[in-house]
């Protein structure tokens, strides 16, 4: 008995003409709106970072001198002794380089060539005990002063390892001291940093961000304490005698 | 009923259907269908976009694929890469090595903040250039604190390092207890036997729960179609690492597993000009990372959240170069600030401090 009134279509003609058209018009407006709207929300795309590809070349920073070392003399590679056996050095003590003018010695207290180079055989390096080592064993010379770093380098905790992390692999190679550091100026040079991130959400930020408005109550309290401590700093000479004793009495009485 | 009619129709279809009600119902139906079609129209992309095939749609999870199915998936991806970038990729599925657990160590005393690792990583792993996706973020931190809120991600200087700051590169820490894996609703990310947490890019639904769960902000989301210049594509690819990703999936650092699982070094380590980065098998007692964890002062980031990272920071037993006047001035300033923090009046010299201490001791006696 319930079904008979449901199957019977409602008397639509009895409704007002205007309200009956609301639904079709709304649908048509919705369809038009959906077609007119852009298919996809536009995502702001930043410009790709421009990176100098030459900055991404893998390898040692310096090319270590061959052993025996060669240097260019009038465009031709020559051994050190080719000259040094013939011409006597103008500065026997080696205080200043007269021929090797490109070398600037900035290496701690060392101010003479012969601090490291053997005066009698320029193709070897001299140790403190008058022993000499070939250029290939330069780390032994460095170790005389830089013992801590040499120990780290021997263990593998200092220095660069290339090729493979598998120690038994033939490609596993450790760089020597002079493949990163210039022995004449060993302090590692400063570099220009590559492009920073351009994040979608954060965008460019000022280099120093003030987090003061984001600090929590504990940080705010700490900052206020610090500021209060900092302000009487100017009045320090006048105050120490007077307020110190009353402060110290209750503090001393406590324990 | 008839008194509301304006025109009498010559033939009404039925006793209860007037022409007006027929038109109204018909217009509503047409409008409704049109609206429905408009609302569903973005789905046309599924049909017109050749990048989404039925095979890919029905592809199984990485860990459920048989070798044949994996080979089919690799063939499909190879074809797609070749079509999109005109490069024939060396794509394969590299599995974890037995008896290997990877660990990474980074020497904060040596990092100079040059950001070479960031861009070497982008070049190696085919990350989108625009919008920009980078796995490594180098944070410039003021000396004397590890509060990451004080770090600056966007530092720009003519030369680094700046003497008043140190540099903290952050990337995926490949945690032994990874929160990102726990929250994934579809198991699209998991931890491999060698400790690397990987993502099946074809299984990820892009809900970004893992991004929210990661305490190191290591995960990145492809908000838009990734764009990589054709000439910069790295054809050395693996299924779980640097094959091209789609819009709407997560990605992150995977320790360059297509290199490291074949014995090579990660790209960020190879490019590091100072040798601050160290990588190896922590199960091998002769490895460099084992030696570092054993002998160096090592810490992990946000230890208190219990993620057990495999990425360790360490530093050398040395202070900034004692001959460097800039570093000396900073050290002096740090000591002064430390004095303030512990309650000593700022600017107190050694003698004043000693006399103040003796006064205090005298009061106590």
Which token pair is B202?
Answer: 């074809």
Percent of chain B with pLDDT over 70: 82
pTM: 0.73
Neighbours of A58 (CB within 10 A): 13
A88-99 burial code (b ≥16 CB/10 A, e <16): ebeeeebeebee
**A159: exposed, middle or buried (Cβ count in 10 Å: 0-12, 13-18, 19+):** buried
Q: Between the CA of residue A179 and those of A66, A139, A220, B23, B39, what are the distances in Å?
A: 11, 11, 50, 87, 64
**What pLDDT, on the 0 to 100 scale, is given for residue B327?**
66
**Residue A117 domain boundaries:** 70-180
Yes or no, beta carbons of A56 and B32 under 8 Å apart? no
Query: What is the C-alpha to C-alpha distance for residues B234 and B238, in angstroms, rounded to an integer?
Result: 11
Q: Which of B351-365 are b and which e, b meaning 16 or more Cβ less than 10 Å from the residue's Cβ?
A: eeeeeeeeeeeeeee
CA distance A19 to A15: 7
Could you tell me which chain B residue has the CA closest to the CA of A62?
A: B273
Give me the phi and psi of A78, to 5 degrees please: -135, 150
A250 pLDDT band (50/70/90 cuts)? Answer: very low
pLDDT (average), residues A19-28: 81
Contact criterion met (CB < 8 Å) for A40 and B347: no
pLDDT tens sequence across B113-136: 999 999 999 999 999 998 889 999
- Paired tokens of A33: 């709106």
Computed over its alpha carbons, how large is the radius of gyration of chain A?
39
In angstroms, rounded to a whole number, what is the distance separating the alpha carbons of residues A251 and A249? 5
Can you tell me the mean pLDDT for A187-203?
Answer: 77
Chain A interface includes B355 (CB < 8 A): no
Is residue B185 scored above 90 in pLDDT?
Answer: yes
For residue A101, give every residue at least 6 positions away whose Cβ sits within 8 Å of its Cβ, in sequence order, or none: none
CB contact, 8 Å: A201 with chain B?
Answer: no
How is A54-108 classified by DSSP, letter by letter? GGG--S-SSPPPPSS-EEEETTEEEEHHHHHTTSPPS-TT--S-SS-TT----BT
- The answer to whether residue B32 scores a pLDDT higher than 60 is yes
Tell whether B286 lies on the interface with A, counting CB pairs under 8 A. yes
- The DSSP string of A160-227 is -EESBS-TTSTT-EEPPHHHHSBTTB-SPPPB--------TTT-S--SS---GGG--HHHHHHHHHHH
Average pLDDT, chain B: 85
Q: Express each pLDDT in A65-85 by its tens digit.
A: 776 777 777 788 888 888 888
Closest residue to A196, CB basis, from B20, B116, B155:
B155
The confidence score (pLDDT) of residue B15 equals: 59
Give the per-residue pLDDT at B196. Answer: 96
Residue that wins the pLDDT comparison between A172 and B346: A172
- In CATH, the number for domain B102-315 is 3.30.70.20
| Cβ-based contacts of A214 with chain B (< 8 Å) | 149
Kindly indicate the confidence band of residue B286, based on its pLDDT and cuts at 50, 70 and 90.
very high
| B292 vs A35, residue with greater confidence | B292
Among the ranges given (A77-86, A230-239, B125-134, B256-265), the one the predictor scored with the smallest mean pLDDT: A230-239
C-beta atoms of A34 and B38 within 8 A: yes
Mean pLDDT calculated for residue range B225-243: 93
Q: Which residues in chain B touch residue A56, judged by CB atoms under 8 angstroms apart? A: 116, 119-120, 123, 271
Does residue B69 surpass a pLDDT of 70? yes
Q: Which of the two residues, A219 and B135, has the higher pLDDT score?
A: B135
Please report the pLDDT score of residue B351 as a whole number. 47
Cα separation of A56 and A21, whole Å? 68
- Distance, C-alpha B190 to centroid of its chain: 15
Q: What would the mean pLDDT of A146-165 be, rounded to a whole number?
A: 91
Angle between helices B325-341 and A217-230 (to 10 degrees): 100
Question: How many angstroms separate the CA atoms of A143 and B265, rounded?
Answer: 27
Q: Determine the pLDDT at residue A130.
A: 84
Closest partner residue to B156 among A30, A159, A207, by Cβ? A207
pLDDT bin (cut points 50, 70, 90) of residue A204 is very low
pLDDT at A13 over 90: no
Query: Which residues share a beta bridge with B67?
Result: none
Task: Flag whether A209 is in a domain.
Answer: no
The residue that leads in pLDDT, B2 or B250, is B250
Which chain A residues touch B152 with a CB distance below 8 Å? 205, 207-209
Residues 6 or more apart in contact with residue B177 via CB below 8 angstroms: B306, B307, B308
Provide the number of structural domains found in chain A: 1
Per-residue pLDDT at A79:
82
DSSP state of B203: T
Residue A222 lies inside a defined structural domain of this protein: no
User: How far apart, in whole angstroms, are the C-alpha atoms of residue A155 and residue A238?
Assistant: 58
Flag whether pLDDT at A225 surpasses 80: yes
For testing contact with chain A, the best of B3, B288, B294, B346 (most A CBs within 10 A): B288
Q: What is the pLDDT of residues B191-221, one digit of tens each?
A: 999 999 999 999 999 999 999 999 999 999 9
Residue B356 has pLDDT above 70, yes or no: no
In a domain, A216, yes or no: no
Cβ pairs A/B, distance under 8 A:
228
**CB–CB contact B114 A191 (8 Å):** yes
Question: Are B215 and B179 contacting, i.e. CB atoms less than 8 angstroms apart?
Answer: yes
| pLDDT computed for residue B48 by the predictor | 64
pLDDT at site B340: 65
Residue of B nearest to A157 (CA): B292
Comparing A57-61, A180-184, B96-100, the range with the smallest average pLDDT is A57-61
Is B4 near chain A, with CB under 8 Å? Answer: yes
ipTM: 0.74
Q: Does A254 touch chain B (CB under 8 A)?
A: no
Nearest residue of A to residue B228, measured between CA atoms: A48
Q: Taking 80 as the threshold, does the pLDDT of residue B75 lie above it?
A: yes
Tokens of B78: 């190879």
Closest CA to B148 of B157, B137, B135, B159: B137
Q: Which two tokens stand for residue A34?
A: 């959906």
- Among B302, B280, B268, which Cα is nearest to B136's? B268
A247 CA to chain B: closest CA distance, Å?
A: 11
% of chain A with per-residue pLDDT over 90 = 16
Contacts of A45 in chain B (CB under 8 A): 130-131, 224
Q: How confident is the model at residue A240 (pLDDT cuts 50, 70, 90)?
A: very low
Q: Would you kindly state where each structural domain of chain B is located, as residue ranges?
A: 49-88, 102-315
Q: Let me know: does A177 contact A142? Beta carbons within 8 Å.
A: yes
pLDDT at residue A252, rounded to an integer: 36
- Name every chain B residue with its beta carbon within 8 A of the beta carbon of A160: 272, 274-275
Give the pLDDT score at A210.
Answer: 57
What's the confidence (pLDDT) of residue B14?
53
pLDDT of A51 higher than 80? yes
Question: Least CB-CB distance to B39: which of A34, A108, A159?
Answer: A34
């Amino acid at each position: 008995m319930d079904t008979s009134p449901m199957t019977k279509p409602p008397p639509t003609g009895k409704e007002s003409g205007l309200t009956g058209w609301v639904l079709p018009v709304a649908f048509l407006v919705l369809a038009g709106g959906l077609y007119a709207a852009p298919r996809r929300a536009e995502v702001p795309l930043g410009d790709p970072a421009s990176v100098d590809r030459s900055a991404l070349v893998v390898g040692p920073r310096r090319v270590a001198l061959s052993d025996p070392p060669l240097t260019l003399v009038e465009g031709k590679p020559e051994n050190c002794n080719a000259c040094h056996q013939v011409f006597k050095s103008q500065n026997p003590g080696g205080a200043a380089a007269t021929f090797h003018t490109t070398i600037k010695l900035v290496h701690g207290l060392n101010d003479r060539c012969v601090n490291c180079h053997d005066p009698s055989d320029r193709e070897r390096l001299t140790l403190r005990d008058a022993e000499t080592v070939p250029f290939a064993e330069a780390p032994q010379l460095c170790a005389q002063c830089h013992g801590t770093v040499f120990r780290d380098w021997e263990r593998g905790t200092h220095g660069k390892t290339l090729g493979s992390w598998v120690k038994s692999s033939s490609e596993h190679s450790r760089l020597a001291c002079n493949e990163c550091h210039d022995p004449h100026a060993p302090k590692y040079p400063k570099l220009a940093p590559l492009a920073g991130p351009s994040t979608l959400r954060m965008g460019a930020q000022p280099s120093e961000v003030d987090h003061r408005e984001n600090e929590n109550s504990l940080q705010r309290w700490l900052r206020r304490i610090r500021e209060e401590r900092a302000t009487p700093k100017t009045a320090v000479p006048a105050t120490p005698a007077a307020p110190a004793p009353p402060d110290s009495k209750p503090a001393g009485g406590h324990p | 009923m008839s008194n509301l009619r304006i025109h009498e129709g010559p033939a009404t279809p039925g006793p209860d259907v007037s022409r007006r009600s027929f038109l109204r119902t018909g217009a509503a139906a047409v409008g409704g269908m049109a609206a429905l079609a408009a609302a569903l129209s973005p789905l046309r992309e599924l049909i017109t976009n050749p990048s989404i095939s039925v095979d890919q749609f029905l592809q199984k999870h990485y860990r459920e694929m048989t070798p044949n199915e994996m080979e089919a998936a690799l063939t499909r991806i190879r074809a797609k890469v070749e079509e999109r970038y005109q490069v024939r990729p060396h794509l394969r599925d590299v599995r974890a090595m037995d008896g290997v657990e990877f660990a990474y160590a980074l020497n904060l005393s040596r990092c100079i903040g040059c950001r070479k690792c960031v861009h070497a990583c982008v070049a190696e792993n085919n990350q989108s250039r625009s919008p920009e996706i980078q796995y490594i973020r180098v944070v410039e931190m003021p000396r004397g604190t590890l509060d990451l809120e004080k770090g600056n991600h966007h530092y720009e200087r003519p030369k680094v390092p700046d003497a008043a700051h140190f540099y903290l590169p952050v990337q995926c820490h490949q945690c032994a207890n990874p929160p990102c894996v726990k929250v994934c609703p579809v198991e699209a990310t998991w931890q491999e036997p060698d400790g690397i947490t990987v993502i099946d890019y074809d299984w990820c639904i892009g809900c970004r729960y893992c991004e929210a769960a990661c305490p190191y902000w290591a995960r990145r989301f492809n908000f838009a179609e990734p764009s990589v210049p054709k000439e910069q594509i790295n054809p050395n690819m693996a299924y779980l690492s640097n094959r091209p990703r789609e819009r709407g999936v997560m990605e992150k650092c995977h320790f360059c597993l297509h290199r490291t699982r074949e014995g090579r070094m990660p790209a960020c380590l190879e490019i590091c000009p100072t040798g601050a980065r160290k990588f190896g098998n922590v199960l091998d007692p002769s490895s460099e990372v084992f030696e570092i964890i054993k002998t160096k002062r090592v810490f992990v980031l946000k230890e208190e959240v219990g993620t057990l990272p495999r990425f360790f920071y360490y530093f050398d037993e040395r202070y900034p170069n004692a001959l460097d006047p800039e570093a000396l001035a900073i050290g002096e300033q740090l000591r002064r600030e430390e004095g303030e923090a512990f309650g000593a009046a700022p600017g107190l010299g050694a003698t004043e401090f000693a006399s103040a201490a003796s006064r205090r001791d005298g009061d106590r006696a």
